[in-house]
Structure 1
Amino acid sequence: MFPKPQPSLKPNTYAYESGPMVKATGFREYDARWLFEKEINLMGIQALGMGIGTLMHRMGVRPAIVTGHDFRGYSASIKMALVTGLMAAGIKVHDIGLAMSPMAYFAQFELDVPAVAMVTASHNDNGWTGVKMGVNRPLTFGPDEMTKLKDVVLNADFELREGGGYIFVENFPERYIRDLTNRPKLKRKLKVVCACGNGTAGAFAPGILRALGCDVIELDTELDHTFPKYNPNPEDLEMLHAMRDEVLKTGADVALGFDGDGDRCGVVDNEGDEIFADKVGVMLARDLSAVHDKPTFVVDVKSTGLFVTDPVLIKNGVKADYWKTGHSYMKRRVNESGALAGFEKSGHYFFNKPIGRGYDDGLVSAIAVLDMLDRSPDKSMSDLKNALPKTWGSPTMSPHCADETKYGIVEKVVKHFEDAQKSGAQVAGQKIRDLVTVNGVRVTVEDGTWGLVRASSNKPELVVVVESPASEARMREMFAAVDGVLRTHPEVGAYNQTL
């Protein structure tokens, strides 16, 4: 019998090398993330593979799974530990090797395999590892499946059986690249900065963009798992500023930046202005609603209010559906509602047919941006951005808060604003117009200025976003109001970035 995982073990000991270690907080809302060797060891990863296999059998899923790994120095060894656990549970593993997450999602369709377990920590700092998994394409696990998986693994409730196997799928990236580039080239000659932050996308994105007809300027596309300049996260200003500098230096039409596992895309325009992903979503919604009749777009609660107030979207009959932040939640909502696309402020975009297959793929998102420019031959990226109604919005700001306490803090913050609404108290100098509590709390006051607080689903952090359609000063007043509530809780630490 495989031993029951322990929450912590001392490294360089017999116990550490002979038994599984799995910290419970690594099982998050819709994927799994741990600090490798501090919160999980290789035998813990093996237990995770047994748990995924056991859950597949109990859910009646055909016992076949796609796996791949991102470009971190330890990801290949973690993947193989996961593979041994899956095989022990009787699962046939199709290994596509070094890959981006969307390549693994594509492989579910291309190889006709029901399940996926992609080894990646996405944009997290070095030292982190994780798995994005699902058993019903194009969906990935949500809270229910993650809770069941957690119980199976931590209680060593495994069903080990024969029948497992391993297949290495040779040259799979070529099939993914062919799928994206087997289409007419862009009519418009575009000079594009391709920024990858030394992450996995650097091996694939430049060639794909060239195949589409772009003049590509590579920025930090050399694979380097130490991430020597900055983490490959197009939501962080450090990466966006590097993209800005390259655009201004080269006179590019646009910069497209990809995160560590290639499922997100960030944008900087031809004037060097970073366009937060929710605003890019509004621009794409304008473009797509001109060629698709009255589409629905799912939007996460961190995103701009323009999805419901923009006059062009209103004229085009767009329906905006604000939903929970998180790639699993958004993917499921887009799939179940039949929306044309889903847009998340983090840069996860989900395109249904005829544009995509419902999963998040940074290259599909980049192609959608390029097609938008191709359909607007007399307009620059900055022209399209400046055509939007003006709002003042913050980047995503994340104060540290331990995994063990962050959800409790958010519950208290939600209650604070619910009580304020009931009593008629003012927030940032105005009464509350409405609250959205589907995912944390989004508080909007009378002039449309709003602030959001929620718990991060994959790091020990809270998430704070503010926006105002009135002025930059009003945006800052809302941030001060929201941060003032957070500062009443000593468990909330410093921000990763702020206004």
Structure 2
Amino acid sequence: MYPIPQPALTPNTFAYESRPLVKPTGFREYDARWLFQSEINLMGVQALGLGLGTYVRRSGVRPEIVVGHDFRGYSSAIKYALIAGLMAVGLKVHDIGLALSPMAYFAQFALDVPCVAMVTASHNDNGWTGVKMGANRPLTFGPDEMAALRDIVLAADFDLAPGSYAFVADMAERYIADLLDRPKLSRRLKVVCACGNGTAGAFAPKVLEGLGCEVVPLDVEPDYTFPRYNPNPEDMKMLHAIADTVTASGAEVGLGFDGDGDRCGVVDNRGDEIFADKVGVMLARDLSAIHPGATFVVDVKSTGLYATDPVLIANGVTADYWKTGHSYIKRRVSELRALAGFEKSGHFFFGPPIGRGYDDGLVSAIAVCELLDRNPGKTLAELKDALPKTWSSPTMSPHCADEVKYRVADAVVNHFAAAKANGELIAGQPIRDLNTVNGVRVTVADGSWGLVRASSNKPELVVVVESPVSERRMHEMFEAIDAVLRRHPEVGAYNQRL
């Protein structure tokens, strides 16, 4: 019988080397994330593989799975521990080696395999590891699947059976060839390709060059120490580095990719970062002209322009504001048969006929390049300036422990619900609307809004504010939101703030 996983073990002890360590909070809403060694050990990763394979077998899904890993110093070891667990419960493993998350999703289609397990901590700091999982392409696990998996793993309730293993040597070439199976750009765009020394550096420059771009490389050499900053296109350090390179090189656009390549950040030709939700509005304008009446799914962190932009309204667009998280948006795009889904974090999901429904930062980069190609004579800055003006914050994340963050978020929801019921003013104005599909998004009379939700993959809350009126109103919304958070001593310092 496999040992019961333990929630805590001390490294460099007999117990640590002989029992699985799996901290329960690592099972998050739609993927799994742990600090390697302090929250999960290799035996714990093996237990995760045993549990995932058992879940797949009990679900009646064909027991075959694609497995890949990102470019971190410990990811390959974690992958092989995971594979050992998967094989021990009867799965056939297709190992695609070093990969981007979207390359693993693509491999599900290319190999006709139903399941996926991608070893990646995405943009998290070094020390983190995790797995993105799915058993019904192109979808990935949501809360129900993650809860069922957690219960199997923590109880060591595994169904042992013999499995098998195959290494797929050419998946990277097949993935790149699929991305480039399209007409080249009609003109040679000069593009900064920034990878933050993450996994995307092995793929993105080749794809952009194959599309017909002149590529200006920035931190494209994979280096798992991340010597400059984490590869995260929401991080202002990375965006500023891209902006400096764009202006110095005279590039038409800067494209930045996160650690596992499923997100893309954008900087315009003036060196101004464009938050991903505004990039989504620009793409929605372009695509809805080709596909009038399209539905777009957007997360609750995103700009209100999807519902108010006059061009989108004229094109008959339906905007559906939904839960933040790649698994949630992916599923919603599939359910509504939406043309695309956009997250403020930079996850974009293009459904048929553009894509297969999963998030791929390289597909997003191609879409931005094609947007410029379809609008000759207009710079990206001019396309951005054509949008109605709003003042938006970056995504701000005050620390809040995993054990209490959902309770704090619920308390904030209840606070604003009571404020609306009692007619209280927020930032000097009455509440016009509350969206509680994911935390709370409170919108006041002038259209300014603020969001608070619990992060799905880190011990943090998430705060975003926007105003269509002025920068001052954006700051007032932030102060009003932050004042509510400061009533809770469990809420710590922000990673970045206005």
Instruction: Bin the TM-score by the shorter chain.
Output: over 0.9
Query: How big is the shift at 1:183?
Result: 1.6
Counterparts of 2:143 and 2:411, CA distance in 1: 21
> Is 1:394 equivalent to 2:393 in the alignment?
yes
Query: How big is the shift at 1:347?
Result: 0.2
User: Residue 66 of structure 2 aligns with which residue?
Assistant: 66
Q: Deviations over 1:244-275 (max 9, x none)?
A: 00001000000000000000000000000000
User: Residue 213 of structure 2 aligns with which residue?
Assistant: 214
User: Residue 379 of structure 1 aligns with which residue?
Assistant: 378
Counterparts of 1:144 and 1:220, CA distance in 2: 38
Runs of 4+ in 1 over 4 A off after TM superposition: none
Give the TM-score taking structure 2 as reference length: 1.00
Counterparts of 1:451 and 1:232, CA distance in 2: 26
User: Residue 14 of structure 1 aligns with which residue?
Assistant: 14
Counterparts of 1:128 and 1:260, CA distance in 2: 12
Q: Deviations over 1:134-164 (max 9, x none)?
A: 00000000000000000000000111112x0
User: Residue 409 of structure 2 aligns with which residue?
Assistant: 410
User: Residue 43 of structure 1 aligns with which residue?
Assistant: 43
Query: How big is the shift at 1:378?
Result: 1.1
User: Residue 296 of structure 2 aligns with which residue?
Assistant: 297
SS at match of 1:28: coil
Counterparts of 1:122 and 1:182, CA distance in 2: 27
Gaps of 5+ in 2: none
> Is 1:121 equivalent to 2:121 in the alignment?
yes
Query: How big is the shift at 1:182?
Result: 1.8
User: Residue 234 of structure 1 aligns with which residue?
Assistant: 233
User: Residue 154 of structure 1 aligns with which residue?
Assistant: 154
User: Residue 32 of structure 1 aligns with which residue?
Assistant: 32
User: Residue 448 of structure 1 aligns with which residue?
Assistant: 447
Query: How big is the shift at 1:172?
Result: 1.1
- Output aligned runs, 1:266-285, within 5 Å: 266-285=265-284
* Percent identity of paired positions between Structure 1 and Structure 2: 75
Decide whether the 8 Å contact of 1:138 with 1:359 is kept in 2.
yes
Decide whether the 8 Å contact of 1:391 with 1:469 is kept in 2.
yes
SS at match of 2:225: coil
1:374 alignment partner AA? D
User: Residue 313 of structure 1 aligns with which residue?
Assistant: 312
SS at match of 1:290: helix
1:79 alignment partner AA? K
Counterparts of 2:356 and 2:198, CA distance in 1: 24
Decide whether the 8 Å contact of 1:397 with 1:463 is kept in 2.
yes
Q: Deviations over 1:344-399 (max 9, x none)?
A: 00000000011110000000000111111010011000010000000000000000
SS at match of 1:288: helix
Decide whether the 8 Å contact of 1:188 with 1:377 is kept in 2.
no
Query: How big is the shift at 1:53?
Result: 0.4
1:228 alignment partner AA? P
Query: How big is the shift at 1:110?
Result: 0.2
Query: How big is the shift at 1:16?
Result: 0.6
SS at match of 2:66: strand
Counterparts of 2:410 and 2:67, CA distance in 1: 36
Q: Deviations over 1:173-192 (max 9, x none)?
A: 00000000122110022000
2:373 alignment partner AA? D
User: Residue 95 of structure 2 aligns with which residue?
Assistant: 95
Q: Deviations over 1:422-450 (max 9, x none)?
A: 00000000000000000000000000000
Counterparts of 1:183 and 1:440, CA distance in 2: 40
Pairs aligned (count) = 498
User: Residue 84 of structure 1 aligns with which residue?
Assistant: 84
Decide whether the 8 Å contact of 1:330 with 1:342 is kept in 2.
yes
2:113 alignment partner AA? V
Query: How big is the shift at 1:293?
Result: 2.2
2:300 alignment partner AA? V
Counterparts of 2:91 and 2:313, CA distance in 1: 49
User: Residue 334 of structure 2 aligns with which residue?
Assistant: 335
Counterparts of 2:448 and 2:9, CA distance in 1: 48
SS at match of 2:290: coil
Q: Deviations over 1:35-88 (max 9, x none)?
A: 000000000000000000000011001010000000000000000000000000
SS at match of 1:90: coil
User: Residue 173 of structure 1 aligns with which residue?
Assistant: 172
Counterparts of 1:13 and 1:267, CA distance in 2: 47
Decide whether the 8 Å contact of 1:265 with 1:366 is kept in 2.
yes
Q: Deviations over 1:194-236 (max 9, x none)?
A: 0000000000000100000000000000100010100000011
Query: How big is the shift at 1:31?
Result: 0.1
SS at match of 1:8: coil
Counterparts of 1:374 and 1:310, CA distance in 2: 23
Counterparts of 1:272 and 1:30, CA distance in 2: 34
User: Residue 254 of structure 1 aligns with which residue?
Assistant: 253
Query: How big is the shift at 1:310?
Result: 0.4
SS at match of 1:473: helix
Counterparts of 1:469 and 1:293, CA distance in 2: 26
SS at match of 1:222: coil
Counterparts of 2:284 and 2:292, CA distance in 1: 12
User: Residue 465 of structure 1 aligns with which residue?
Assistant: 464
Give the TM-score taking structure 1 as reference length: 1.00
